[in-house]
Amino acid sequence: MLPAKLLKRPRAVISKDDRRWLTIAATLAERGRPSSAPNPAVGAVLVKDAIVIGRGWTQAGGRPHAEAMAFAQTGQSARGATLYVTLEPCAHHSERGPACADLAAEAGIKRLVVGVTDPDPRTAGSGMERLRAAGVEIALANDPACGMSLAGYLCRTRYGRPHITLKLAMSLDGAIATASGQSQWITGDLARAHTHRERARADAILVGGATLRSDTPQLNVRLPGLEDHSPERWVLSSHPTPDGWHQLPAVEELGRMAPHQYLFVEGGSSAAASFLRADLVDRLLIYRAPILIGGGKSAIADYGLDDLASAHNIWSLSARRQLGRDTLEVYDRTPCSPE
Amino acid sequence: MLPAKLLKRPRAVISKDDRRWLTIAATLAERGRPSSAPNPAVGAVLVKDAIVIGRGWTQAGGRPHAEAMAFAQTGQSARGATLYVTLEPCAHHSERGPACADLAAEAGIKRLVVGVTDPDPRTAGSGMERLRAAGVEIALANDPACGMSLAGYLCRTRYGRPHITLKLAMSLDGAIATASGQSQWITGDLARAHTHRERARADAILVGGATLRSDTPQLNVRLPGLEDHSPERWVLSSHPTPDGWHQLPAVEELGRMAPHQYLFVEGGSSAAASFLRADLVDRLLIYRAPILIGGGKSAIADYGLDDLASAHNIWSLSARRQLGRDTLEVYDRTPCSPE
């Protein structure tokens, strides 16, 4: 017989099926990115007898929440169901709608599986606590897919800055241009289209001042159907900023970007070095063309690496795919910043 | 009814099974590399009723040939069998042994499947012709795996130079050292062991003069059991060469390396550029560590690329694998030089 203390709150068991439903919820959440801003892009799935009876994701501007959308689809049938949600349901009332924890209690769900807890001090465990008090079985998964899906929100809440992706498009020998400055084109059409899709997932794009002056990049999204998804354009520069551009005088002033969750840094080599020097890069997106340039312009300027040993064990390969002849590699900071 | 001319010499049909046996022959051929030098490393399989009855590969110093080794295993049972061989059987008698075409005719094989023809003018089709005259069915596969397996011999015979692999070990941003020159270590143990295995497959290794003077590399094979497989060491330099090193004053003088079939170029960036400038690199072996160096020493110096467009469609990815945290990518020159 186990001591009463251990029996009182049984350890939540997360099954493989639970992980699968959470992954589906995280995939749904992607539909709210980045339109859910300033709210996190959350995904929710209501499951009863292994059948999905409701689905939701945070709507544009942040409301309705993912759970509210799912419950709106189910009505009475949610009684006895399991709610899978990437982020702990909110516990605070708002002028814009009821707390999701209350919605879930009223709907009569039997079980709640949460991807990650909400670090927002207004929730921070109280969403789960309220449902536990209402007799709902609670399981916290600490699920990596959900954490990754909420990386921007978690960075914003924990560190007061957006999640930062550094994009690099380069040759096999790490050049982003020839010695004479020619850079069009290194990667092909598919890689460029993919970059535009990544832009559309960000709240803001940034380039360095030198890149802005020399390349006058548009940095907009030019994919059919996504033309209105172009994020804010920022320049890392202490110089006056042209119309249509926001100014970030130094990476230390990233607070200016609030409430943005996702920043996409597109270079050049000095801007990349500024973010790396401050250890402010969470993710690398490397588009690599199968060409050799030789003596070209390096992708990354000196960022103050003093010893080769300290360059290791920082980046973990999380995805690799072909984009025509080019290869895309995604590396995440180790340990992943949001964890 | 087809015209008699077309019936007389039916077009050889290469089946999937034929390709499979040729691939096996090419794998066997690898056992003779590079010890078969100065002869090509050939592989042969004798197959009867879908069963392997004999196998062979070119022995150390070039004799016996692969076919002779296979026939020595079979005796009378080779009658009616199919001989798969990566390279056309030789047709010229030598003091060192009979012509393989004669051996095959005497053995009474029914069919011969050849990977690639032998460009050696002493054979150049006459090996197949002799067997055709003896009533053997002949099929020429022009098989890419066999061509790749014989790349060194084909380069040597056609172009009078060895097949050249350029090895690069670098960071994600294409650096082979920090700005201050630190280069130990970028890649890990597995990548270095793999490099030593590749050295053991070459006839000669080369570095640039600057690399020899600054790094004094050993460039030997330090894998257990392969210590005596260290190839000749060459330096690309017009300066006097230290003991134990051969001198290549310029890439244009590669004829000095005869009869070597495989050259492994290990850098540095200027030596790499010299070979690339002369379009003398057949294969790239890129070991890449998941690290960022920033402002480091480039893997490849300026090799005279005047327009970015001309850098494209040169290199085709032929293999990729993980070596611990590092990635190995193999690129072959497009179109592959030996074809």
Residue A221 is predicted with a pLDDT of 87
The minimum CA-CA distance between B322 and chain A, rounded to whole Å, is 11
Among candidates B293, B300, B316 on the partner chain, residue whose Cβ is nearest the Cβ of A311:
B293
Closest CA to A141 of A88, A79, A65: A88
Residue B337 is predicted with a pLDDT of 45
Query: B137: pLDDT confidence band, cut at 50, 70 and 90?
Result: very high
Give yes or no: residues B133 and B243 share one domain: no
Question: A129, A153, A177 — which closes off a domain?
Answer: A153
DSSP 8-state class, residue B193: H
Number of domain units in chain A: 2
Question: B135, B153, B171 — which closes off a domain?
Answer: B153
Domain CATH for B142: 3.40.140.10
Give yes or no: residues A176 and A135 share one domain: no
Give yes or no: residues B32 and B171 share one domain: no
Domain CATH for B311: 3.40.430.10
The minimum CA-CA distance between B169 and chain A, rounded to whole Å, is 10
A to B CB pairs, distance under 8 Å: 140
Tell whether A5 is covered by a domain.
no
Residue ranges at the known binding site of A for Zn(2+) = 65, 90, 100
Tell whether B6 is covered by a domain.
no
Q: Which helix (H) or strand (E) holds A226?
A: none
Q: What global pTM score does this model have?
A: 0.90
Query: Could you tell me what percent of chain B has a pLDDT over 70?
Result: 95
Give yes or no: residues B244 and B127 share one domain: no
Residue ranges at the known binding site of B for substrate = 183, 219, 222, 266
Q: Give chain A's residues under pLDDT 70.
A: 1-12, 335-339
Residue ranges at the known binding site of A for substrate = 183, 219, 222, 266
Residue B11 is predicted with a pLDDT of 58
Tell whether A7 is covered by a domain.
no
Q: Which of B67, B129, B227, B252 is catalytic?
A: B67
Give yes or no: residues A146 and A39 share one domain: yes
Nearest 5°: CA angle at B24, between B23 and B30?
A: 95
Tell whether A8 is covered by a domain.
no
Among candidates A173, A276, A295 on the partner chain, residue whose Cβ is nearest the Cβ of B294:
A276
Tell whether A9 is covered by a domain.
no
**Chain A residues with CB-CB distance to B171 below 8 A:** 174, 311
- Chain-wide mean pLDDT for chain B? 92
Distance CA B245, CA B273 (A): 21
Q: Where are the alpha helices (DSSP H) in chain A?
A: 4-8, 16-29, 66-74, 100-107, 126-133, 144-149, 151-159, 189-200, 209-215, 269-277
Return the structure tokens found at B220: 């030997």
Q: Is A308 in Cβ contact with B293 (below 8 Å)?
A: yes
Give yes or no: residues B310 and B167 share one domain: yes
> Is the Cβ–Cβ distance between A57 and A32 less than 8 Å?
yes
Give yes or no: residues A264 and A288 share one domain: yes
Give yes or no: residues A257 and A235 share one domain: yes
Question: A153, A185, A212 — which closes off a domain?
Answer: A153
Distance of CA B306 to the CA centre of its chain: 31
**Chain A residues with CB-CB distance to B317 below 8 A:** 290, 327
A163-171 and A137-140 beta bridge pairing = unpaired
Residue B338 is predicted with a pLDDT of 41
Tell whether B50 is covered by a domain.
yes
Return the structure tokens found at B140: 């020429």
Could you give phi then psi for residue B21, rounded to 5 degrees? -65, -35
Give yes or no: residues A140 and A172 share one domain: no
> Over the stretch B28-80, which tens digit does the pLDDT of each residue have?
999 999 999 999 999 999 999 999 999 999 999 999 999 999 999 998 899 99
Tell whether B338 is covered by a domain.
no
Give yes or no: residues A228 and A114 share one domain: no
Give yes or no: residues A129 and A232 share one domain: no
Tell whether B11 is covered by a domain.
no
Structural domain span for residue B147: 16-153
A283-289 and A326-333 beta bridge pairing = antiparallel
Q: Which of B26-35, B219-228, B278-287, B326-335 has the lowest mean pLDDT?
A: B219-228
Give the residue numbers of A annotated as catalytic, written as ranges.
Answer: 67
Peptide bond into B259 cis (omega under 30): yes
The minimum CA-CA distance between B80 and chain A, rounded to whole Å, is 46
Query: In one letter, which amino acid is B146?
Result: C
Give yes or no: residues A172 and A302 share one domain: yes
ipTM tops 0.95: no
Residue A122 is predicted with a pLDDT of 84
Mutate to test the interface with A, among B300, B328, B329 (most CBs of A within 10 A): B300
**Chain B residues with CB-CB distance to A170 below 8 A:** 173-174
Among candidates A172, A182, A307 on the partner chain, residue whose Cβ is nearest the Cβ of B308:
A182
